[in-house]
Structure 1
Amino acid sequence: MSEPTGAAGYGERYAAALMNTFGPPKLTLVRGEGAHVWDAAGTEYVDLLGGIAVNALGHAHPALVAAVSEQLGTLGHISNFFASEPQIELAETLLGLLGHGDGKVFFTNSGTEAVEAAFKLTRRTGRTHVVVAQGGFHGRTMGALALTSKEAYRAPFEPLPGHVTFVPYGDTEALSAAVTDRTAAVLLEPIQGEAGVVVPPDGYLAAARRVATDNGALLWLDEIQTGMGRTGHWFEHHRSGVVPDVVTLAKGLAGGFPIGACIALGEAGDLLQPGNHGTTFGGNPVACAAALAVIRTITADGLMDNAAKRGDELRDALLAPAQVTGTTGHGLLVGIQLDGEYAADTVTAAQHAGFIINMTGPSRLRLAPPLVLTEEDTRAFGAAWPDILARAQEGS
């Protein structure tokens, strides 16, 4: 489905003014409400991608709009020479949600920046070696890219910083063999998002915890995509009972307002000291107020339970057609395996049918809708799904 240019010529204007880092946009979206968005031509879509797991409260949620408006009208930016009440309250709240004891928070503006902060933090251990999983995605700035395994992303920018070893995700023996007494950290996603919602075997995170501890290394969990209630828990690692040393967050944390967080627990919280790292905008009052509004709304409206229920409904509906050979994930982070390499055509067919979904590989799809997704929305997608797949196969 091509971009409707209309009188405004959005497609041409985009190509003329923006760097070509993402290719041509599929749509120009002009407004949203809940889990629905509208494009420049007035067409409505159910947003089953949620800004790539970002829009936890959907679009234009009154609680988020009110929090941002009120805070911006009170105190917008102060730099980190000063503190603000929302910043302090958010740090305390996140440590409480983690429930793992003492810790310290460094706020950033994005997930990539949170990863950069954590990467620098691991160097303060006096070690430089980091063990990371194949298929993992942690960002595209130079440090974060060094920790991201996809060759197509890495190759144009090598040599990258760091001493990094990649091991197969979910393989405890390979992980154990790679980690030594010179390893600074083991970095894992509790569920790999960009790889297509890949869930590790039971016990994998617990094994990683043991391996890291036995070698004096930090266990660093990237919850940027899985955190903030998306999988039915505040953090996906809560499902395993594992206690990490470092957690990185972003995406759904402020429901679309830019923010990230590097959280270090226990002794790791004291590794970064004055002069070791910094940010101008990170932890600004508006972003922190937005995040607090998201957390309060998730709690008050039971959105983690909603994520679990709607996710189960989606998985049941997705598995009905024979073209789907399996689904993965928890809550509203859903991976879909097709029986052939026509994922791109499925994304296009879904868009024609009024649904926004995502392709992570030739035969792999991902859903990460807002936590406010309704039963009506899941039923509508389930009803349209068989025809979407049939049309995709015709076009492939």
Structure 2
Amino acid sequence: MKRKYVNGLIFLVLTIGIVFFFDEVSDIINKIKQDQTKKLELWAKSVKAIIRSENSAEIAFIFDEIISGIDFPVILTTDKDEPITFKNIDLSGMKSFSDTTAQLKIRVADMKTKYSPVKIELESMVQYLYYDDSYYVVRLKQAPIAVVIFSILYVILIYWSLSTVRKSEQDRLWVGIAKETAHQLGTPLSALMGWVELLYNPLNELKPENKRMILDSMKLDIERLNIVSTRFSKIGTPERKTKENLYELIATALDYFKRRFSNTPNPISFRLEGSSSVFVMINKELFVWVIENLIKNAIDAMDKAEKQIEISVQASGRYAVLSVKDNGKGIVGRNKKKIFTAGFTTKKTGWGLGLALVKRIVELNHKGKAQP
């Protein structure tokens, strides 16, 4: 009965979270579309102003401040839908003018099915502005689909996990993975929401270079979300393995931690030793996660001012042996059998999921052995 309540609560929270996410994304998309429409109306007025104006400074201002601000695909056509000019459409692969025109006509036909064009009525002619979604609107539209897929995979993973462990471990795993997922997704999602709020705050008059910096940061956060979803989706599923140099893989992971802790009051000493030519068949994304969790666990276990972590890579017959040591206080004997149990932790904070995931990935996905 208790497990049913836990399952129902997690399903309810997950459902509410998805609905809220869909609503937020839809609201953001609508705001961006409204902004696009306003920019198009300004462009239409600008075209009229350019035709009527004889002031070169005024024309330059219109091009620099209005038309150059368009950041989504736009095509200006005649009343017969013949392309006149365009912006933000990649036609680098076109070899001739006729190919370019043909491709633009295809895009016009596609744009016509999505949005009504903006009509520009001039004294002797009529022109139309056709437009499409910007790159970020397209990505935001894809985000709910990715969330649904990730949620489905997440539920499948949880169900499969609970069917293979004891009841006490099942309850801990539910809570642990739910919290770990929230923690892993929370940082990039919070950052994305902050960037979006900054972009749409009417009080912020951002310079182009600042906008570019924000968009680049948003891209990094989206990539981090993709890494998190990829890692969780691959746990316990048959994945194609590739031949990797274990030593180089660990060295790359250590470079990240060295940069991260280089400017801390008590820097950490990292040392990698052993054979640099040990090759293994692994799922790279999951095994990098294993390495990160082992290093994070070692860092958390040390309470000395001078922290040291030693990682050794050796070949032993058909197997590779990866050893991680730190100069912390060590593991109490009675806890050695518990450290890989989901939910077990000796820290004041944390959910005891890191080493449980290490054991699962090493033993289930790679048929290896994880031991203290």
Q: With the length of structure 1 as denominator, give the TM-score of the two structures.
A: 0.21
Give the structure with the larger strand fraction: 1
Between structure 1 and structure 2, the one with the greater Rg is 2
State the structure with bigger RCO (CA 8 A, min sep 6), 1 or 2: 1
The TM-score normalised by the length of structure 2 is: 0.22
